[in-house]
Amino acid sequence: MNTMSHQPRLERLRRRMEEAGIDVMLCFKPENSFYLTGFNPIIYSHPVVAILPREGKASMLVHALRDDHARASTFLEDIRLYGAWSTKVTMGPSWLEALKTMLTEGGFAEAVVGIEEDFLPMTRYRDLQGILPGARFADVSQLVFETRLIKDADEIANARAAAAIADVGMYAAVDAVGQGGNEREIAITSMAAMNRYWAETYPDAEVCDFGSLEGGVQNGLWTWVFTHERIFMNCDNPTVRRPVKGEPVFIDIWTIVNGIHAENERTVAVGTLPDEIKRAIESIIAIRESIVPLIKPGTPISELYAQARRGLEENGYGRFLPGRIGHGIGLGAHEGPSLDAKTSFPLEAGMLLTLEPNLRMPGVCGTQISDTILVTETGCECLTRSPNGFLQV
């Protein structure tokens, strides 16, 4: 635990809270409560509430059974408990009553309380209204989103580790394609290689992802494999289909280290591809190369999409335009911004993106190439390093 690492993000959040007139912020969304506390319980069946006042100490409310785990993970000092578990002493059986006590004692009974309207379920919102009838609630979804856009030093270090693991998975997967494995064999070989590398190389890192109300995500080192017409599935479990000569295989690798994701996706030719497919892959590689110089502070995001569009149209692929050519990545495997025609705000140093202008030509073929890219002060740095030119086994 680096007790200093969270200071930049909390300061940036507080500055925005000041601008928006928010007195205290409550975060329930797993990615956001982790962002404010450093604690990921992996499963969220018992709520974790991160409480950030504009001034004063941040605190966290967790179920008694999460006490030891929370203390071992968080950079906060103030941890409060609810519920019943063995000999733990708690504030009471209900998180809601405990939160009411904390907020009332903190002087927030009539405050402006920031909540995540893009995540908070309606019943939970009504519960909050019930315990704080004199408060005014305001949405902080956009405020937190904007703060998360710029990654802190610890997040960038975690992205580098996640990218390094993804590279290991890609080498193993490409090798397994060459060995003649079916989709599942390729995926399983690659995931096992990533897990071994993680276990040996990063003794202090966690690779769990963020769970939900009903489930937990214990291990987030994943390899997706798509062959033949299955490339049009985009997101699906690997099957027992075996690639055959003359077809492209999509390998999509998603990883996570200490809450930060990376993505490395490649299209691998099995033997010699038909000209039409080879031309599509080579066009996409050239289009990617034409976009990279634009990835630097100040470039409007829509310019990246416009450049991809020009390239696709010039190569005769104007009928097959994708909706977007990448997305933000960080605490979310897919988070904002969307790299599309409508997103016009400029890139800034510290943003983390995937670059993936790709083709889906129904009945013909497709391409899938993606890298995790950090926007730097002077340009950009590709964190995923495995070869991203034309790959053939």
Residues 244 to 273 in contact with its own copies, rule: CB under 8 A: 254, 261
Q: Rule CB under 8 A: is residue 286 a binding residue for its own copies?
A: no
Taking CB under 8 A as the criterion, the residue among 129, 212, 272, 344 binding its own copies is 212
Strands 24-27 and 112-115: parallel
Q: Which of 6, 16, 54, 66 binds its own copies (CB under 8 A)?
A: 66
Query: Phi and psi dihedrals of 116, rounded to 5?
Result: -90, 90
Q: Could you say whether residue 323 binds its own copies (CB under 8 A)?
A: yes
| Selected binder of its own copies within 150, 156, 279, 320 (CB under 8 A) | 320
- Interaction residues for its own copies, span 332-361 (CB under 8 A): 332-335, 359-361
Q: By the 8 A CB rule, do 389 and 369 touch?
A: no
Tell whether residue 84 is a contact of its own copies (CB under 8 A): yes
Contact between 216 and its own copies by CB under 8 A: the answer reads yes
* Residue 381 interacting with its own copies (CB under 8 A): no
Output the six-digit token pair for 388: 């991203």
* Residue 1 interacting with its own copies (CB under 8 A): no
Tell me the C-alpha to C-alpha distance, in Å, between residue 294 and each of 75, 86, 186, 309, 355: 37, 57, 35, 14, 12
Amino acid at 174: V
CA distance 258 to 208: 8
Write out the binding residues for its own copies, residues 20-39 only, by CB under 8 A.
Answer: 30-31
Is 85 a residue that touches its own copies (CB under 8 A)? yes
- Taking the complex as a whole, the smallest distance from the CB of residue 202 to its own copies amounts, in Å, to 10
Is 197 a binding residue for its own copies by CB under 8 A? The answer is no
Size of the site for its own copies (CB under 8 A): 81
150 binds its own copies (CB under 8 A): no
Among 110, 236, 289, 381, binds its own copies (CB under 8 A): 236
Among 23, 154, 209, 247, binds its own copies (CB under 8 A): 209
**Does residue 284 contact residue 367 with C-beta atoms inside 8 Å?**
yes
Its sign, for the CA torsion 371, 374, 379, 381, is: negative
Q: Residue 287, SS3?
A: helix
* Residues 93-122, interacting with its own copies (CB under 8 A): 116-122
Per CB under 8 A, does 319 bind its own copies? Answer: yes
Nearer to its own copies, 184 or 278 (CB): 184
Binds its own copies by CB under 8 A, chosen from 206, 247, 303, 371? 206
Q: By C-beta, is 38 or 41 nearer to its own copies? A: 41
Pick between residue 20 and residue 217 the one whose CB is nearest to its own copies: 217
Compute CA distances 133 → 56, 61, 100, 364, whole Å: 23, 20, 11, 60
**Residues 158-177: x where in contact with its own copies by CB under 8 A, - otherwise, as a string:** --------------------
Residues 352/329, Cβ–Cβ less than 8 Å: yes
H or E element: which one contains 313?
A: helix 301-314
* Amino acid symbol at 309: R
How near is the Cβ of 218 to its own copies at its closest, in Å?
Answer: 4
Task: State the number of CA atoms in the 13 A half-sphere of 45 facing the CB.
Answer: 8
Nearer to its own copies, 111 or 187 (CB): 187
Q: Does 233 bind its own copies (CB under 8 A)?
A: yes
Stretch that binds its own copies, among 8-16, 104-112, 155-163, 194-202 (CB under 8 A): 194-202
| Residue 348 amino acid letter | E
Contact flag: residue 42 with its own copies (CB under 8 A)? yes
Q: How far is the CB of 203 from its own copies (least distance, A)?
A: 5
CA angle 71–77–81, rounded 5-degree value: 60
Rounded alpha-carbon distances, angstroms, from residue 239 to 123, 172, 178, 235: 40, 18, 17, 12
CA angle 388, 392, 393 (to 5 degrees): 130
**Tokens 């930049």, residue located:** 8
Q: Which range touches its own copies (CB under 8 A), out of 166-174, 224-232, 268-276, 345-353?
A: 224-232
Q: What is the DSSP letter of 300?
A: B
CA gap 46, 97 in Å, rounded:
14
- Could you tell me the smallest distance in angstroms from the CB atom of residue 376 to its own copies? 24
